[in-house]
Amino acid sequence: MKLKTWIAAAGLAGMASMGLADGHGGMVKVGMITTLSGGGAGLGIDVRDGFLLAAKMAGNDHLEIVVEDDQRKPDIAVQLADKMIQSEKVDVLTGIIWSNLAMAVVPAATAQGKIYLSPNAGPSALAGKGCHPNYFNVAWQNDNLHEAAGGYANDAGFKNSFILAPNYPAGQDALTGYKRTYQGELAGEIFTKLGQTDYAAEIAQIRASGADSVFFFLPGGMGISFLKQYADSGLDLPVVGPAFSFDQGILQAVGDAAMGVKNTSQWNKDIDNAANKAFVEAFQAEYGRLPSLYASQGYDTANLLLSAMAKADIKDQDAFLAALKEADFESVRGDFAFAANNHPIQDIYVREVIKEGDVFTNKIIGTALEDHSNVYVDECKM
């Protein structure tokens, strides 16, 4: 372990060299393109920190990681991917948070023979007809947590939900996923602007709609803005959503407005297994904060890569892809496997926002979906 390069990577510098288990080959070079500035920076920082933590914990000297900030801009992400593939000669790409950026980068990267491991974005277009043997999603398929939220809404007795999400691929997948499982009526359906911060008009529509509940997908700063404005509006309709707007890095900014809200996630800090306990403890020790869902996904993505490096040489790509497909690592989520289209099969939980001392966090209150895959598997003809 080279301490200087580790600190540099954690501080957003361009490159870090850190080691992994010896495995069967030489160096593996990873290009991490993620969001480290602007409104979605907290998400990318957590993915990066989780990934780098797993690499640091593994020890020795077979992994090189190049970290770059996409600024949440598709054109910047494409430029960085081109540089990493053509100049940096990376073997593996990872890191993208936003589905519109993934759609701009992943198909071109896999077409050039690169492996892409997604720690977050899981657009439906890459799960079905656009699937590829070199593309693995280590988080979810975008619809999944929203499908779980729709199921929870049925159990909670919601009959007339108002639903909203940003107008980009993940937002479209979100509302599709909720409607796939939700059995009630819709009081309204809105696509908002990506990056929007003023939701007065949408809240007025909710108020006038006759809704009995609200489902929304607004990740990062969008969710903070919406929840604060929703609480200030005096509306008291129950809210349900995926973890993205109720995750650890967001809750402190939202505060009391999030208390008691139910949200869906494939991970939480109280999942009772040895890998998760070690991760939560190590993350707090390294960074001085509780890990988020995004951090857990970065951590699992690195450990998936480690597991393949222990079995195969990156120069033998077929063997390396087979080793990735085996997913022979201890996930912080517990049971984890890949479906035929290289997207997770996993449990998805219902969480409730609580307060532990002065810290807002989540606790698991139930399981929404067990061993859940995705509806696009049959469209994938790999």
Task: Name the pairing type of β-strands 344-356 and 239-242.
Answer: unpaired
Q: In what order do the strands lie in the sheet with 92-94?
A: 15-18, 63-69, 28-34, 92-94, 115-118, 135-137
Can you say whether residue 21 is alpha, beta or left, with left for phi > 0 and alpha for psi between -120 and 50 degrees? beta
pLDDT at 25 (0 to 100)? 64
pLDDT at 17 (0 to 100)? 38
Question: Which domains are present in the chain?
Answer: 28-140+271-338 (3.40.50.2300), 143-265+349-377 (3.40.50.2300)
Comparing CA positions, the residue from 348, 346, 308 lying closest to residue 329 is 308
Length of the chain: 382
Percentages helix, strand, coil for the chain, rounded to the nearest 5? 45, 25, 35
Burial of 237 (0-12, 13-18, 19+ CB in 10 A): middle
Q: Is 89 helix (H, G, I), strand (E, B) or coil?
A: coil
Residues ≥6 apart with Cβ < 8 Å to 316: 25
pTM: predicted TM-score of the whole model, two decimal places: 0.90
> For the segment 72-121, what is each residue's pLDDT rounded down to a tens digit?
999 999 999 999 999 999 999 999 999 999 999 999 999 999 999 999 99
Q: Cα 366 to the chain's mean position, in Å?
A: 20
Residue 196 to residues 96, 223, 230, Cα–Cα distance (Å): 20, 9, 14
Q: pLDDT 10s digit of each residue in the chain, 382 long?
A: 232 233 333 333 333 434 444 455 678 999 999 999 998 899 999 999 999 999 999 985 789 999 999 999 999 999 999 999 999 999 999 999 999 999 999 999 999 999 999 999 999 999 999 999 999 999 999 999 999 999 999 999 999 999 999 999 999 999 999 999 999 999 999 999 999 999 999 999 999 999 999 999 998 889 999 999 999 999 999 999 999 889 898 898 888 989 999 999 999 999 999 999 999 999 999 999 999 999 999 999 999 999 999 999 999 999 999 999 999 999 999 999 999 999 999 999 999 999 999 999 999 999 999 999 999 999 999 8
pLDDT at 24 (0 to 100)? 59
Residue 136 to residues 31, 37, 145, 185, Cα–Cα distance (Å): 15, 25, 18, 35
Where do we find the tokens 């496997």?
337
Cβ contact 136:107 at 8 Å: no
pLDDT at 291 (0 to 100)? 96
Contacts of 100-103 spanning 24+ positions with Cβ under 8 A:
100/74, 100/168, 100/169, 100/170, 100/194, 101/33, 101/70, 101/72, 101/73, 101/74, 101/77, 102/126, 102/169, 103/169
pLDDT at 249 (0 to 100)? 83
pLDDT at 51 (0 to 100)? 97
